Chain A
Amino acid sequence: DGGITQSPKYLFRKEGQNVTLSCEQNLNHDAMYWYRQDPGQGLRLIYYSQIVNDFQKGDIAEGYSVSREKKESFPLTVTSAQKNPTAFYLCASSNYQGGLNQPQHFGDGTRLSIL
């Protein structure tokens, strides 16, 4: 079945450590997105990419980095510069060419905590 796979489901980060969250999709979608969700809050956009080798900052990009070397993959690195990384991270993709009626499809998320 087509879908989005995020791994790991749970991740722990030590102080001063960079960690990378994986996001892979087999939906052949052009656009991919990373969101951060804090408890009881909505989704805030970190980065998005509409095409391979290109990505744009979202509302809260500081302390995060991404790459888009392959259409299927959009990994997110939480760097040591992100001082409050504890949150739920959601990856999404959408069909860029299909029109406005194409929803975003989401992975199951990664819960990141500080040790």
Chain B
Amino acid sequence: AQKITQTQPGMFVQEKEAVTLDCTYDTSDPSYGLFWYKQPSSGEMIFLIYQGSYDQQNATEGRYSLNFQKARKSANLVISASQLGDSAMYFCAMREVSQQFYFGTGTSLTVIP
């Protein structure tokens, strides 16, 4: 079974609008960490935001927030006030106690002017 599932291969959003990128995960560990990364066309992976399995509040980092629903095993990334520079691939990842990282297949986001 896939550890991380991203069901949206591609998404479009109007500039200045908000967009939600979906991510569901599968683990039996009680302790785990969830991450989102941005990959621009240049290829580097940029860490955006982190959510711990025991965190009571949703993580926020500037225009990025994480909608964490533990019972549903989902960790959706919300980008508010989209900018043209947000156009990129976005990857959801999970870190288990084993220290192994698991990545989803990514969502390509295009911001339309």
Contacts and interface: CB of A to CB of B under 8 A. Distances in A.
Interface of A: 31, 33, 35, 40-43, 45, 48, 50, 88, 90, 92, 94, 96, 100-109, 111
Contacts of B104: 42
B21 to A, nearest CB: 14
Interface stretch (B12-20, B45-53, B69-77, B80-88): B45-53
Task: Give the bracket for the number of chain B residues in contact with chain A.
Answer: 20 to 34
A50 B99 contact: yes
B32 interface: yes
Contacts of A33: 101
Nearest to A95: B99
A87 to B, nearest CB: 11
Contact of A100 (B32, B42, B103, B105): B32
A94 B101 contact: yes
A40 B105 CA distance: 9
Contacts of A42: 91, 103-106
A76 B101 CA distance: 19
Q: Which of B37, B52, B100, B104 has the most CB of A within 10 A?
A: B100
Most buried by B among A31, A45, A94, A101: A101
Given A100-B52, A100-B97, A103-B35, A43 B103 contact: yes
A107 B42 CA distance: 12
A94 B37 CA distance: 14
B45 A90 contact: yes
B43 interface: yes
Which 4 A/B pairs are nearest by Cβ-Cβ distance?
A100-B33, A106-B45, A42-B105, A103-B47
Contact of B44 (A41, A48, A101, A108): A108
Nearest to A58: B100
A48 to B, nearest CB: 8
Contact of B43 (A88, A104, A105): A88
